[in-house]
Amino acid sequence: MYRDETEELNDESRKSADGSFIQLSDGIVHYELSNPNEKNTVVLIHGFSVPYFIFDPTFEFLSRSGFRVLRYDLFGRGFSDRPDTRYNIDLFDRQLTDLLDALRFTRPISLLGLSMGGVIASSFTTRRSERVRSLMLIDPAGARPVRISPLLTMAKMPFVAEAVLGWVGSEGLIKGIAKDIFDPALVEHFQAQYSIQMKYKGFKRSLLSTIRNGMLEPFVKTYEQVGKMEVPALLFWGRNDRTVPFEYNENLRAVMPNLKFHTIEDCGHIPHYEKPGIVNPILLGFLRNNG
C-alpha cells in the first residue's frame, strides 16, 4: 500500500540489526539486554514511533553504572514485528509482560517510559504493581492529547489517512520527527537513524492503528491510580517540548503529588537524548535510592 515500504521484515533483513530477538505471543521482538547477571533491573520503553535507539545514551550510561538494562522495540517499530492487530494498551502491556516472562525476570524492576512509553509503563504499574520497584517518566503522553503532525491527525478517517500517507511517502514523517529536538545539530543524525525502520512493511499501518486505538489520548485515570500507590516516581520534562508541551506537567503533578520533578532547560521532547549530562546523574541518584 505504501510505496516506500518495500522490504519484508524477516530473518535476513534482521541480520543488519544489533541486539537480540525473541518470539513472543504476538510476534518477534527486537531487544537489547546488558549485564544479564545483575539483579537491579531498569527497563526502557520508547514512545510513539522512535525505536529503541532513542535510549542510546541512557542504555550505555546505566549499563556502565552496573544495572541490568533492557530496551526493546515496541511492536510496529524498529526491528520488532508489525502484527496486523489493534495497537492498543493491551497489546503493549502484553508485549512487556511476555518479554519479562520470557527473559525470566522475577524480581521487581524499575520502569522508564518516554512519551507514549510513559503510558505503557504507568499502565503496567497499575496492573502489576508487585513487579515494579520504581517508575520514571520522560515527557510522558497521556496528561492531555498529544500534538501530532497534520499527516497523522487524519488517522481516524478510514481510508483517507492510508491514501495520503501512500501518496506523500515518508518525507513528511521524517521532517515532522525533527520537532522533537531542540538542538538542530542533532536532527540529521536522528532522522537518519529513524528512517531505517520505515522501509519495512507495516510501519505506517502500525502508527495509524496506534492512534485509532487511543494510545495518544488522555490516560489521566491511569496516572491517578499510580498517584495513589506507594511506588517511587520521577518526572523529567523538556522546557521547549513541542510534542507534549511543558505546561502539561501540571496536569500530571496534580494527580501524582509524590513525583520528583525536574525541568530540563533548552531542551525538546527527548531530554535524556539531548541533555544526557544533566539527566543521567539524576537518574542514577534516583535509582540508587529507589531501584
Distances from the Cα of 259 to the Cαs of 134, 137, 289, in angstroms?
11, 10, 14
Residue 162 lies in a domain: no
Tally the domains of the chain.
1
Contact indicator for 118, 142 with CB cutoff of 8 Å: yes
Could you give the percent of the chain with pLDDT greater than 70?
Answer: 90
Percent of the chain at pLDDT > 90 equals 83
Let me know if residue 41 belongs to a domain. Answer: yes
In the prediction, which pLDDT does 175 show? 81
Evaluate whether residue 21 is within a structural domain: yes
pTM for this entry: 0.94
Question: Does the residue 131 lie in any domain?
Answer: yes
- Per the domain annotation, does 71 fall within a domain? yes
Task: Tell how far CA 151 is from the center of its chain.
Answer: 20
- The CATH number given to whatever domain includes residue 80 is 3.40.50.1820
Determine the length of the chain. Answer: 291
| Grid cell of 271 as nine digits | 531530554
C-beta atoms surrounding 146 within 10 Å? 25
CA angle 211, 26, 102 (to 5 degrees): 120
- How are strands ordered across the β-sheet holding 20-24? 20-24, 27-34, 68-72, 41-45, 109-114, 132-138, 233-238, 260-264
Rounded distance between C-alpha atoms, residue 129 and residue 271, angstroms? 27
Give mean pLDDT, residues 10-17.
94
Is residue 77 in a domain?
yes
Asked whether residue 184 is domain-assigned, the answer is no
Boundaries of domain holding 94: 13-147+214-290
Burial 170-185 (b: 16+ CB within 10 A, else e): beebeebbeebbbeee
Is residue 225's pLDDT more than 70? Answer: yes
Q: Does 123 map to a domain?
A: yes
pLDDT, tens only, 258-285:
999 999 999 999 999 999 999 999 999 9
pLDDT of residue 242: 92
